[in-house]
Homo-oligomer: A and B are copies of this chain.
Amino acid sequence: MSKKNQFISMKQVSVKDSFFSPIQKTVVDVMIPYQEKALHDEIPGVRKSHVIENMKIAAGESEGEYYGRIFQDSDLAKWIEAVAYSLILKPDPELESRTDEIIDLIGRAQRPDGYLNSYFIAAAPERRWQNLSDCHELYCAGHMTEAAVAYYEATGKDTFLKICCRLCDHIDNRFGPGKITGIPGHEEIELALMRLYRVTGEERYLKLASYFVDERGKDPDFFLKEEENRGWSRTNYVSKLSPAYMQNHKPLREQDKVEGHAVRCMYLLTAAADLAAETDDEILLAACRRLWDNMVEKRMYITAGIGSTARGEAFTEDYDLPNDTAYAETCAAVGVCFFARQMLEAEPCSRYADVMERALYNGTISGMQLDGTKFFYINQLEANPEMSAEVYGDEEYTPERIGWYDCACCPPNLARLMTSLGTYVWSSGEDTIYSHLFIGGEVFFDMGGGVRILLESRYPWEGGAVYTVDPDAPGAEFTLAVRYPGWCSGMKVSVNGEEVPDSALGKDGYWKISRCWESGDQVACHMDMPVRRVYANPLVRADAGCVAFMRGPVVYAFEGIDNGEALQTFRIPREGEAQILPYDPELLGGIVALKIPALQKEIPESLYLGQPCPEKPVTLTAIPYYAWSNRGLTHMRVWMEEA
């Protein structure tokens, strides 16, 4: 382990959080079993997955034909990864045994040379490795490898890990310096190889990850040439897309804007930041930092959603953040968390954690229905149900979550994020324990001697948190670094009742509490948590004249079901005081709602008028954004006109 600071592993932490524990429970008890059934095509009325069946066909154990997207192995892999984490959260021998069977099936599908991809094995064995741009073999291999690492770490069983080592060895034998030149059309293998490197200690996986990261962008026409050379096309996708769509327009080290397909970009940057920290590569880290800044300060929704457009699920231009046509794919927000976590390992700095937190409380979990059985792929910030087909060019689209997708990448991505949530909360360096998020739970560190910390909070509904430290040996010396959240303008920290001076707040945005810790030492934080008005940079056309509301890390939304469907007819006076309602455990799984004074315009007959319409005072209700669309089809807005 050459990194100076690393996030904790699953087994070091247990999440006991009033906000996230119920979500984790839903994921473990409902979502993972639901997705298992979906992968087996056992949910009536929900579109077919065929994923398990595809693997059986690849293993020669079923006669059917491959069905579905070419990259569906990744759905299965992400689900297995989520299962691995869930087995730590809640052991389930039956689930584990069924998963072992699936892993065995995967093993039987694998070719003797290590190759593994159900589509090509089942449907086009002669076309292996010819279409890296859009056939996603390396992408699927990456997800398989991530799952294998997680399953090994959770269960100690190495069957899957060995499968994926053979697979990655196969890849390593094929691609790299002095071998065949190749990069994936959809990044993912890079970050997976980093994980495989850590669990196996095999340097060749690190080198291969590094090769894939650095080879990218050397030849912007790589995918075009690949297409010309092979003489067949699965889709006419590539030739239409610019190299930037796959982050291949120039070497990553020279890039200064996040471009193209947002998920691809996040997976690449996750691997790059990991590599940079692992190898002390300052130039690569500087590129990651530059791209982070561009993403966060020019191309990110207030919900931490990224990728403004459905066309290519991609970034567009700086400050182009339309609300009704927002794409903000769930997977992309999940990717933001991955990237943020790697940046935090590379250089602990609260601005990374701020964004990760914003993603976790908003743009990721908006992707799941509260009951865990339906999912958003797209996370709009303004919904006008009657216009959805129009704005997305898809007659099928309505702003209601659905049970499965033809391209079902998001649901299992959310499952693995939520089950592994504990590993995003804490990291530790040589002598510092970083508390990045106020997610309650118990954590264990080895700081020379063992240290346990209990974090209790009612976050995000209340702005307090209490850390109780329990070292194995009294007088353990280390620094506890507690984040000062960017959203907060008044935070106090005390140790055993004694206020920590402002001088303890580092430039990195963390309170540094260094002492010899005794059992029972308590660090208490108080964060002022008023309702905040947020304004977008004036260059954001879509939000001109508008205001959004946040409280703590939570972005609020206005739904038609609470306020009447014509949300565009309201204006919120600048001086109006928002009322914070008491926590309501019965509403939307338990939320704090807001009441906000507003003006509603009268609706005249005419389309165009010589003066603004008269207004009457009303009171609006706002609910947390993530919880919207859980009460039927309705209009929704995050940004409201301000008076």
B610, A534: Cβ atoms closer than 8 Å: yes
CB-nearest residue of chain B to A536: B608
Q: Which 8 pairs of residues, A with B, have the shortest CB-CB distance?
A: A538-B601, A545-B545, A538-B569, A541-B568, A297-B607, A535-B609, A545-B641, A544-B568
If A317-B387, A390-B316, A545-B641 touch, does A606 touch B311 (CB 8 Å cutoff)? no
Which residue of chain B has its CB nearest to the CB of A386? B317
- Which residues of B are found within 8 Å of A546, using beta-carbon distances? 545
Q: Mark A313-353, 1 if CB is under 8 A from B, else 0.
A: 00011011000100000000000000000000000000000
Q: Which of A297, A384, A612 has the most CB of B within 10 A?
A: A612
- Not counting A297-B606, A317-B387, A535-B613, a sample of 6 additional A-B residue pairs whose C-beta atoms are within 8 angstroms of each other reads A297-B607, A316-B390, A320-B387, A324-B541, A539-B603, A545-B545
Task: Give complex CA distance A104, B184 in Å.
Answer: 62
Q: CB-CB < 8 A to A316: which residues of B? A: 387, 390
A605 contacts partner chain B, Cβ-Cβ < 8 Å? yes
Which residues of chain B come closer than 8 Å to A607, judged between CB atoms?
A: 296-298, 300, 319, 536-537, 540
The chain B residue sitting closest to A384, CB to CB, is B541
Interface residue A236 (Cβ < 8 Å from any Cβ of B): no
Assembly CA distance A545 to B309 (angstroms): 25
Within 8 A of B (CB), among A262-304: 296-298, 300, 302
CA distance A607 to B298 in the complex (A): 6
User: What are 5 A-B interface contacts by the 8 Å CB criterion?
Assistant: A311-B393, A533-B610, A534-B609, A537-B606, A538-B568
Question: If the complex has contacts A544-B568, A603-B538, are A311 and B390 also in contact, measured as CB distance less than 8 A?
Answer: yes
In the docked arrangement, what's the CA distance between A324 and B544, Å? 14
Count contacts on A: residues with CB < 8 A to the other chain: 50
Say yes or no: A604 contacts B569, CB within 8 Å.
Answer: no
Q: Are B539 and A569 in contact (CB under 8 A)?
A: yes
A393 to B324, CA, bound (A): 16
Decide yes or no whether A618 CB sits under 8 A from chain B. no
Interface centre among A390, A568, A607 (most CB of B within 10 A): A607
- B297 near A534 with CB under 8 A, answer no
Please tell me if A473 contacts chain B, counting CB pairs below 8 Å: no
Name the B residues within 8 Å of A387 (CB-CB).
Answer: 316-317, 320
Does residue A50 face the partner (Cβ distance < 8 Å to B)? no
Return A509 CB to nearest CB of chain B, in Å.
15
A387 to B308, CA, bound (A): 12
Nearest-CB distance from A340 to chain B (Å)?
A: 16
Within 8 Å of chain B (Cβ to Cβ): is A532? yes
* CB-CB contacts below 8 Å: A509-550 with B: 532-541, 544-546
| Contact, CB under 8 Å: B317 / A608 | no
CA distance A311 to B395 in the complex (A): 12
Complex Cα gap A341–B230 (Å):
60
Q: Determine whether A571 belongs to the interface, using a CB cutoff of 8 Å to chain B.
A: yes
A503 at the interface (CB under 8 A from B): no
**Contact B611 A533, beta carbon cutoff 8 Å:** yes
- Interface positions of A from 575 to 622, Cβ below 8 Å from B: 601-613
- Most chain B C-beta atoms within 10 Å of own C-beta, residue among A298, A302, A544: A544
Given contacts A316-B390, A568-B544, is CB(A608)–CB(B534) below 8 Å? yes
Chain B residues closer than 8 Å to A491, beta-carbon distance: none
Indicate whether A504 reaches chain B with its CB closer than 8 angstroms. no
A535–B610 contact, CB under 8 A? yes
Q: A561 in the interface, Cβ–Cβ < 8 Å?
A: no
